[in-house]
Amino acid sequence: MSSIQTLSYAQAAVQAMRLEMQQDARVIVLGEDVGRGGIFGQYAGLQAEFGAQRVIDTPISEAAIAGAGVGMALAGMRPVVEMRVVDFALCGMDEIINQAAKNRYMFGGQGRVPVLLRMPIGIWDASAAQHTQSLEAWFAHIPGLVVVCPSSAQDNFSLLRAAIQSGDPVIYMEHKTLWGQTQDVDTALEIPLGQANVLRHGEHLTMVSWSKQVGVCAQAADQLAALGVLVELIDLRTIWPWDRATVLQSCAKTNNLLVVHEAIQAAGFGAEIVATAAEETGCKVKRLGAPRIPVGYSNVLELEARVNAEQIVQAAQQLIQKASA
């Protein structure tokens, strides 16, 4: 039987969940609306297959959901906790930050917290300021947490499985607008956490991104290629731990680094990457993220918060011009 299936980003997640639940009875799901498949279809059919005791609908309390997940993990289960969107996870931050992230350290490794917390991120059309945030830098800042941002159906399949199998708490951030995107997915492919993906090779500029913005960077790279600028495009995939070796090797080759993310630029994770690259390789660096404004509800205001391909092309040209001056 072929291991290649054409799956959407959401279907890839369902398939990954199904395989892990079949292979390990400790894997359970809890969250709001998971019984009916989740608001994005990322749990479709799982409650019918595995029952309400393993796919558990919960009350509307993110603190209770996260706390229950942490407790289950400490008791030996491998819970998958659904937060619906990252914005709602803010109601459960004490359980995530002060309990899940710190337990292994504070108790000398006696307890492990293999909980997976799914927190969809990103600008979601006409969803305004409380449903559109990208907060990966918040969680990358916290010792004890793994942070994952898959950009494709293949990555969502392989990385979700790796995250469930991890022995540590994982913040798993799927982009809200990627759910319907489809591609051929190799269900036999294993991708370890912490390994970046070099999507295209180039000699003039290293471009690093993650999540939905990888696709926008690919569009910009095509435009730059037409102008004679060859981009090495790297999808970071895991924000923490991030693949320093792959990024720094590319920076040493191109001597130019542009990091692009949908999250607000101020104090975004791009700052960590460019600072590390500048310190380690001496390459020229630039970062590009959203302005420090809430995402507006109206289309014209929402567009102000988006980072588009034209902005990326302009930033890349400015960096290369500065480097050659």
The residues annotated as belonging to the active site are 62, 131
CA atoms within 13 A on the CB side of 8: 15
The Cα 205–Cα 213 span in angstroms is 17
Q: How far is CA 225 from the centre of its chain?
A: 27
CB 162 within 8 A of CB 189: no
Q: Is 246 helix (H, G, I), strand (E, B) or coil?
A: helix
One-letter amino acid identity for 136?
A: E
One-letter amino acid identity for 248?
A: L
Cβ neighbours around 48 below 10 Å, total: 11
Q: Could you tell me what percentage of the chain is helix, strand and coil, using 3-state DSSP and rounding each to the nearest 5?
A: 40, 20, 40
- Please tell me what DSSP assigns to residue 300: H
Closest CA to 197 of 212, 214, 184: 214
Q: How far is CA 102 from CA 69, 98, 190, in A?
A: 15, 6, 28
The Cα 171–Cα 148 span in angstroms is 6
CB 157 within 8 A of CB 12: yes
- What the block records as the tokens of 161 is 């499985």
